[in-house]
A = this chain, B = another copy of it.
Amino acid sequence: MEEVKLLGALSSPYAHRVIWALKLKGIKYEYVEEDIYNKSDMLLKYNPVHKKVPVLVHGGKPISESAVILEYIEETWPHNPLLPDDPHERAVARFWVKFGEDSFLCCYYFSFIHACESFKSISFNNNLVGFFVTTGEQQVKATKEVKEILGILEEHGLGEKKFFGGNNIGLADLAFGWIACLLETMEEAAGVKVLEANSFPRLQEWIKNFNEIPAIKESLHDRNELLTHFKRRREHFVSSAAS
């Protein structure tokens, strides 16, 4: 098999999606941690447009954008499918993949600038809306907004199902995996609680189901390392907004 390499970053939910997909498919790969404060020449070469992780390199050819990488993985290694067969069900799964992406952006808004790094002259400094990057009253508002997003998942996304697609884990679950694996640490770093123990029972149940999957469990990062990282990110954002 041709060599598979993944350029990722500890706190990137987009990189995590790809790691989970590769693990669920049992694909061997080399993982390269990128320093997002000091990007490698390899990253700049392989993703010259956005200069961001994740990038999957398969047989020397790079693929960027996590949703695009997920489709590539599914097409290249079709065993243990992560999309259903039925075209309409596939469309529903892809709808939630997109929503997973947008909803994360709304929590951690600064990511949008990374997404648009090539358009660096756009400054959002006065408009950090995510709970992760705000303080005071603005953060209270942002926290309320994230709860609205979680409410949509609870009502329209999950229903009575074990996973977003039904009985088996699929692409939509991976897109929301950040809620299961990163949100709690983000909350702690930001000093707020979004997903309270007694709220969103279906989502709570889904988090349990998601984290019980062996491929997910074995790829969880060390909590303390993650917390240190998120605290540093938050400090960086909050001080840029203030300056």
Chain A residues at the B interface, C-beta cutoff of 8 Å: 48-49, 58, 61, 63-65, 67-69, 71-72, 75-76, 87-88, 90-92, 94-95, 98-99, 102, 106, 115-116, 118-119, 121-122, 124, 126-127, 129, 141, 144-145, 148-149, 152, 156
Q: Is the interface of A mostly helix, strand, loop or mixed?
A: helix
Q: Shortest distance in angstroms between A115's beta carbon and chain B's nearest beta carbon?
A: 7
Q: Which residues of B contact A121 (CB under 8 A)?
A: 141, 144-145, 148
Q: Which residues of B contact A127 (CB under 8 A)?
A: 124, 126-127
Extra 17 A-B pairs, beta carbons < 8 Å, given A118-B152, A121-B144: A58-B88, A61-B88, A63-B92, A64-B95, A65-B98, A68-B95, A69-B91, A71-B90, A71-B91, A71-B94, A72-B91, A76-B87, A106-B116, A121-B141, A121-B148, A124-B127, A126-B126
- Out of B49, B65, B75, B122, name the residue touching A156 (CB < 8 Å): B49
A156 to B51, CA, bound (A): 13
Closest to A153 in B: B49
Q: Which residues of B contact A144 (CB under 8 A)?
A: 121
Q: Which residues of B contact A76 (CB under 8 A)?
A: 87
Q: Shortest distance in angstroms between A68's beta carbon and chain B's nearest beta carbon?
A: 4
Q: Shortest distance in angstroms between A201's beta carbon and chain B's nearest beta carbon?
A: 20
